Structure 1
C-alpha cells in the first residue's frame, strides 16, 4: 500500500530544473515542492515529487527552465527618478557634480521609496529575487518599505558611512593633480551632502542600525554593514565596521579599487597595494565583499584568494564609463583560480539597468574576447556567479542561491513561448546567449508568487509608473534642471 502524499503549499511541475547544487544537478523533467513557510521541501524528478507531495496549488512549467533567483550584489537603488538624464557623452567628473547639492540635497523620502520600488520591480522582472543595497539610500527604511511591498528579498545598510568625506580628493596621481575637476567634484559631493554623516562620531552613531532587522530569522529584509569606501573612510572607521560585521555575523560591503584614480590614491595613502595593506591589518576576510575591484595587482589577487573575500563584478558599469575592467580587471582570472565572484548592476545611471542576465553575459563574453579563448568562461560560470556566488557575497548562502531542501523558495520560471527559446537543443545555451531575462515568466520569492505570467500579482504597475514619472519631473525641477546643461548632443557623423 502506497504512503499518503505529504502536504505542500505549492508544486512546480514539468520543469527543466537547474538546481545549482554542489553537483550541478539538472532535472530535465523535474519538480519542486514548497512548504508552508516558504522553504523548499524537495527537488527531483517530476514523477517522484508529484507522487510524494500533494499541494493546494500547482504551477506547470511546461518544460521551461526553472532556476534559483539571481542575487544582486552591488546596487544603488535610489537613483531611478533620474535614470537616463545623464547625457551619453558626459564625463565622470560632471556626473559626480550632478549629485553634489542637486540630487541628494533635493531627493525626498518618498522619492527614494518610489525609486527603490521601481528598482525592485525591474529586478524581479529580470529574474533577480534578492539584492544588497550599497549604502546610499539616505533613509534605509524607504528601501525596506519598497522591498517589502514588491516582495523581494533585500539586504540593506546604513547610508554614507564615512568620516573623511573629502577622501576622493586625496592622494593625487599623475592624472589627478591639484585642481583636477574629478577630485574637486567628488570633494564637493561628499562635503555638501546635508543629510550624510560628516564626522567619525556621526558615522559610528549610524553604523549598524539596520542590523536590528536580523532578529527575525524569517525576515525578508535584513541588514548588513556598508561603508562607502574609495578613500572616504579612515582606517579606524573601517576596522570598527569590520568588528561590527564580525559581531553580527553579516557581510561588510565596501567600494574598492573602482577606477585607476582612486586605486592610485589608496596606494599612496597606504604606501603599498591597497588589498595587501588591508590583508595585513586583518580587514580582508571572508565576510567582506568589495564592490568593483577593477584594478588589482598580482599580490592583491593572492591575498584576496587567501582570505576568501568576495568581489561584486559590475562589468556594464565599467564599460559604460570606460574604466577598462574588461581589459585590465582580474575577475575572470580570479574566478578560474577559485575566488568568490558575484555580480552587480551598480546604478541606473552607471550601467542603466538592473538585469543580472546582462551582467553575467557581458562578464563571460568580455573574458572570452580579452583572453581570446572561447572556453575562458562559459555560460554555467555566469549563472553560478549570479546565484551561488551572489548568495555567498551577501552572506545568505545558507538560505538562497540553489534549489535544495531547506532553502528559501526563491525561484524563477521561464517560458518556452519565446522565439529565442526554441528549438530546445540546449536549454542553458538558449537561456544564457539568447533569451536571458526576456523569457522570465513567473517569479516566486519566499514561497510567494510575486510575478505570474509576466504580471505582478499584488501591484498596480501602471499607477506606479505614473507616480514615478510625476515624482521624477518634480525632483528635476527642484534640482533646477541642472542636468540639461550637458544635454547638447554631439553632431551625428555623416557619410
Structure 2
C-alpha cells in the first residue's frame, strides 16, 4: 500500500476533534494510504512513496453536495434561466420541467457535464437524484467521484393544462414498483466494484407520493441504515396543495407521519409556516426541523432565478437546523453556489452577520456528511477517506490570500482549484479532468438540446414554440 504525502502545504483546513470544527493549520502535512488519511499535522516523519510539494497550496476537504440532478439539469442551460409560470407563483416545475427533457442519448452527456463541473469546483461527494437510466452506475463510477445513488420514485406525475392549475395523474401501483426497483439499484450500487457508490432513498416529491409510499419508503430506509430525502416546501403551489389535502403544512405533514429524523433530508424546505409567501396559522415548522435533527438541502440558484428565496440560511442555522448545500441546477459549480448562499442569506436577513464563512463551509462539508450518515468524509482527519482538494493560493484571483477560504469562495471560485483527489486517486490535475472528456460531452449536449427544442410544441399544453416560452436575449436579424 503506497503512501502519498502532501508536504508543507501553505494552509490545511484541518478538523479539530476537540472543538468539532474546521481550523486553519499553516505549513502542515497530509499523508494518506490506500484511500485513507493517516496523518494531518506538522513534521510528518513516516515513509512516503509519493511526495506532493504543498508550497503555494491550500489543502481542504472535498465538498459534499447533497442535492443534484445530473441526468437532466445541464440540458436546461439557455432555456429556463428566466422562465417561471406567473400563474403558479413563478415556479418552473409544473409547466416547464416536463417539456425540457433530454432523450436517452442525451442523458449520459448530461451526467458527464454535471459531474465535470462538480469535480472542477471541488466536489468529491455528490447525491445524484435522478430517475433510473441505463448504465447509470458505471457512468457514475467512471467519473472517479464518490456518489450517493438516489433513484427517485413517485405515485403520481404532475401536469398543467392551463398554466395556473396543477393536476396529478395517480398510479400508486407504479410507485410501489418504482420503489422496489430503486432498492434493487441501491443494492447494486453498494456492491459496485468501484467501492465509491452508496445509496439513499428518495420518494420524489411530497405532493406526488401517496401516504403509503412515504411511510413504506421511510421504514425501509431506516431498516437499511440509509438516508431518506424528499422535495418538500419547494413551491407555494405545493404548500397550498398539501394544506388543502391534509390540513398541515408540508413540514407539518411529514412530522405528523413521523418522517422527520436525523437521516431525513428536505430538498429545499423554503416554504415553512412562517414564510411571508405562505403564512399559516401555526409557527412550528422550524422547530420541527431542529428538534428532529432533519437536514435542509439548500440550493439557492434555481430559486433565485425566479425571485424566490429561503428566509434565511443563518436563521435556520441559529434555530439548530442542520444545513447542507446542493447544486440543483446548472451550472453544477459548488463554489458559485456557496457564494450565492451567503449573498442571498445576507440580503434576505438584511444583516451581514446572519451567517459566517465558517457556517457556510461547514454546511458544504460536515453538514452534508452528517445528512448522508458519513463520518469519514467532509473533513481532513486521520481515518477519514482521502477526499482532498488542493487550491492554488498563488493564483492571481486568490491574491491577497490573507484568508484563503474567503478568497476562494468570494473571489477566485473554481479557477483556483488545482487538484482533486477522491479516495486517494487524483481525478483533477492542474485544473484538468483526468476521468471525463468534458469538452466532448458538452458538444454532444449542445446537439441534444436541439432535439429537445424541436419537440417542445408536442409536449407543451399550449403547443408553443420554444422561443415563445423562453425568448432569446436579443431578436435575431
TM-score (norm 1): 0.84
Shift in alpha-carbon separation, 1:464–1:490, aligned structure 2, 3 A: closer
Cα distance in 1 for partners of 2:409, 2:175 equals 45
Distance 1:32 1:128, change over 3 A: same
Structure with bigger helix share is 1
Per-residue CA deviations over 1:354-386 (Å, capped at 9, x if unaligned) read 122222222222222232332221111111111
User: In structure 2, what is the equivalent of residue 295 of structure 1?
Assistant: 271
State the 1:317 CA deviation: 1.5
Q: Structure 1 regions of 5+ residues with no counterpart?
A: 1-6, 170-178
Matches of residues 39-438 of structure 1 in structure 2 within 5 Å?
Answer: 39-45=36-42, 48-49=43-44, 51=45, 53-80=46-73, 82-86=75-79, 88-92=81-85, 96-100=94-98, 102-104=99-101, 107-108=103-104, 110-134=105-129, 136-139=130-133, 141-159=134-152, 161-166=153-158, 181-184=163-166, 187=168, 199-212=174-187, 213-215=189-191, 219-297=195-273, 298-325=283-310, 329-348=311-330, 353-396=331-374, 398-438=375-415
Q: CA deviation at 1:491?
A: 7.2
2:369–2:377 CA contact under 8 A, matched in 1: yes
- SS of the residue aligned with 1:399? coil
18-27 vs 289-298, which moves further: 18-27
Does the CA-based 8 Å contact 2:112-2:436 persist in structure 1?
A: no
1:12 aligns with 2:10: no
2:265–2:371: 8 Å Cα contact kept in structure 1?
yes
Structure 2 CA distance for partners of 1:480 and 1:18, relative to 1, 3 Å:
same
State the aligned residue count. 450
Q: 1:485 to 1:280 in 2, by over 3 A?
A: closer
Looking at secondary structure, tell me which structure has more strand per residue: 2
Q: 8 Å contact 1:260–1:323 — kept in the other structure?
A: no
CA positional deviation for 1:164:
3.0
SS of alignment partner, residue 86 of structure 1: coil
Structure 2 counterpart of 1:488: 471
Distance 1:14 1:480 in 2: 59
Alpha-carbon distance in 1 for matches of 2:192, 2:469: 47
The alpha carbon displacement at 1:433 in A equals 2.0
Alignment match, 1:3: none
Higher mean displacement: 238-247 or 429-438 = 429-438
Secondary structure of the residue aligned to 2:302 is helix
Distance change (3 Å), C-alpha of 1:28 and 1:182: farther
Residues 267/151 of structure 1: CA separation in 2 closer, same or farther (3 Å cut): same
- The DSSP-based 3-state class of the residue aligned with 1:229 is coil
Q: State the superposition RMSD in angstroms.
A: 2.6
